Amino acid sequence: MLFSSCGFTREMTPFDQPSKIKNLFICCLWPSRVLRLWTCRRPRTRRNLLVGTACAIYLGFLVSQVVHVLPQHKGGHQKISSRSLQDAAQTPFLGIPLDGTLSPPNFQEPQLGSNGTLLPPNVVYITLRSKRSKPANIRGTVKPKRRKKNAISLSYGQHFPKATFMGWKEAFAQQPGRATHAAGTTGAAIALETRKYQLDERRHKGMGVRERGHQRPGKISGAVKAQLQPAESNIRIYSESPPSWMSKDDILNMRMLADSPIESIKQVPSHKAVLVVFAGGPSTTGAACNQGHCGIVKRPLDMSEVFAFHLDRILGLNRSLPSVSRRSEFFQGGQACPVILWDSSLSPTDNSTHSSVRLTWGQYQQLLKKKCWQNGKVPKAEWGCTEIHHHEWSKMALFDFLLQIYNRLDRNCCGFRPLKEDFCMQQGLKLKCNDQDAVDLTHIVQRRHDQRHLAFIDNKGFFDRNEDNLDFKILQGINEFPASAVSVLRSQRLREKLLQSLFLDKIYWESQGGRQGIEKLIDVIERRSKILLTYINAHGAKVLPMNE
């Protein structure tokens, strides 16, 4: 007890530090006095009494020192525990000296309070929240908040299904202050709010003028059509107007293909597709298709035709037929399929080349050299020109190269390395590349009333072809390109316009995996556009306005 208190065998505690000088002084005096008392000749009882008295005095001294130090430490812990987070935040970097020297950390065991609970450490935890990166909003692709619209007056003398009025609402586009009266019903009068780019009254008048329960033999029942009628249009337009490259007729046709109920379905063996007749047209299929109420439904593998339609409009070519994506239980088990407008104005084609004018590759190259009908010049009879304008071939070549559509100008796949699943490999046409001048062009189609211009059909593109395996035979003989399309490719706004345009088609957008999937397709087109621009500069091709 005595020697341990002098610091020989016992470590110094925080309670001993305030009286260090006093203890050292006492320890220096003790050895001589203890030896003197121990060696003097005195009775053992008296010597023991002196030693015990000295130890008792020293023990009392130690107890007084401990009682003096304990209240300070207790008050210190209470002071730390009551410190607020605000004070801690205002005094940052506590415990770090300002002279740049750092002392080793002092690891202490957790302290216990008076009631046996752990005292909270003097630590402030700060959580940093990372800034969220949001993708750029493309104009017209953000759905606005619903605004309170004007009340729609609806008066009818008989109860009709809700789906019927939805179909009527989409069917008519009213002028301000006018109302459409449905003939054949019990005097129902419907006043609808004027909305831009809905189906106009003249073209789709019969869609809302149908008697209740009226059915025709062999057709789809009215109950099924009501179930197939979407509650909300699959063509999304959230801005005040559709994109500038889409005409009013384009939007009308897209809404009809995407939303109109299906009246009947017929197989088309020559096109390996399904012909659908939409409700609202004449009773016979031929009359309905002549008035634009029919569409061709293709396989899900042909979904690139929808992309091709939007690309055609953005480039200002306006040669492809309106196409949308649609799901229906009547075909492909409810999968999303492309639906292309049936255009009755197209010239009839033969079954072998599916073309309204028959040309071989050799004849096609001769036409490019003659530049038929350019600048209003009438070609000579011995040139062998067709009614097709020279600029049409330039537009088709640019369009086919970006999408790598080979079935028009390179049917035998002679300009690239095809895959096993390509049509030319399945038909063995790759082996017939020795005499390319005799190979027929396919899908060269005109319109009856407009023989000067082409109509692009069967626009199935291929996005899985690498840049080192592109079909440059499509560009062979083309020395001029349309200025409207080249300006879009050079403007670096092709991605923005494609995102904004493809967003209109809700089913197509979702079937491709949303924006992430659409971006991958656009990446392919952008890389090919850069290659095309390099080709134009390297070959000295001219860029001319072709809006005749």
- For 139-168, the pLDDT digits (tens) are 566 666 655 554 433 333 333 333 333 333
Residue 260 lies in a domain: yes
pLDDT for the residue numbered 66:
67
Residue 224 lies in a domain: no
> How far apart (Å, rounded) are the C-alpha atoms in residues 259 and 326?
8
Strands (E), 384-532: 445-446, 454-455, 480-482
Residue 306 lies in a domain: yes
Nearest to 373 by CA among 474, 482, 453: 453
Instruction: Give the model confidence (pLDDT) of 283-320 as tens digits.
Output: 788 899 999 999 999 999 999 999 999 999 999 999 99
Statement to judge: residues 325 and 467 lie in one domain: no
Number of separate domains in the chain: 2
Statement to judge: residues 315 and 407 lie in one domain: no
Q: Give the residue ranges of DSSP H helices in 371-443.
A: 390-403, 423-426
First to last CA, the chain: 115
What is the DSSP secondary structure assignment for residue 187, as one 8-state letter? S
What is the DSSP secondary structure assignment for residue 333, as one 8-state letter? G
Statement to judge: residues 291 and 417 lie in one domain: no
Residue 62 lies in a domain: no
Residue 352 lies in a domain: no
pLDDT for the residue numbered 280:
82
Statement to judge: residues 483 and 524 lie in one domain: yes
Q: Which residues pair with 267 in a beta bridge?
A: 274
The residue that leads in pLDDT, 32 or 181, is 32
Structure tokens given for 15: 């309670």
Decide if 403 contacts 304 (C-beta within 8 A): yes
Instruction: Give the model confidence (pLDDT) of 206-262 as tens digits.
Output: 343 333 333 333 444 444 444 445 568 899 998 888 999 999 999 999 999 999 999
Statement to judge: residues 270 and 318 lie in one domain: yes
Statement to judge: residues 408 and 499 lie in one domain: yes
Instruction: Give the model confidence (pLDDT) of 512-535 as tens digits.
Output: 999 999 999 999 999 999 999 999
* Mean pLDDT across the chain: 74
Backbone angles phi, psi at 266, to 5 degrees: -140, 145
Mark which of 341, 372, 388 sits at the end of a domain.
Answer: 341
Statement to judge: residues 323 and 372 lie in one domain: no
Give the best-scoring range by mean pLDDT among 61-65, 91-95, 146-150, 394-398. 394-398
Nearest to 456 by CA among 324, 356, 352: 356
What is the DSSP secondary structure assignment for residue 175, as one 8-state letter? P
Strands (E), 359-496: 445-446, 454-455, 480-482
User: If you count DSSP H runs as helices and E runs as strands, how many of each does the chain have, helices first?
Assistant: 16, 12
The residue that leads in pLDDT, 454 or 150, is 454
How sure is the predictor about 79, in pLDDT bands with cuts at 50, 70 and 90?
very low
Identify the domain containing residue 254 by its residue range: 248-341
What is the average pLDDT across 424-429? 89
Statement to judge: residues 404 and 308 lie in one domain: no
Mark which of 307, 341, 375 sits at the end of a domain.
Answer: 341
Mark which of 341, 371, 387 sits at the end of a domain.
Answer: 341
Residue 533 lies in a domain: yes
> How far apart (Å, rounded) are the C-alpha atoms in residues 118 and 81?
11
Decide if 355 contacts 439 (C-beta within 8 A): no
Residue 429 lies in a domain: yes
Whether pLDDT at 31 is above 70: no
Q: Which of 96-105, 155-164, 195-204 has the lowest average pLDDT?
A: 155-164
> How far apart (Å, rounded) are the C-alpha atoms in residues 232 and 228?
11
pLDDT for the residue numbered 64:
80
78-84 long-range contacts, CB within 8 A, separation 24+? 80/119, 80/122, 81/113, 81/119, 81/120, 83/122
Decide if 209 contacts 281 (C-beta within 8 A): no
Dihedral over alpha carbons 234, 238, 240, 241 (to 10 degrees): -40
Statement to judge: residues 335 and 393 lie in one domain: no
Element (H, E) at 189: strand 189-190
Statement to judge: residues 415 and 318 lie in one domain: no
Q: Give the residue ranges of DSSP H helices in 386-449.
A: 390-403, 423-426
Structure tokens given for 301: 């593998």
pLDDT for the residue numbered 163:
37
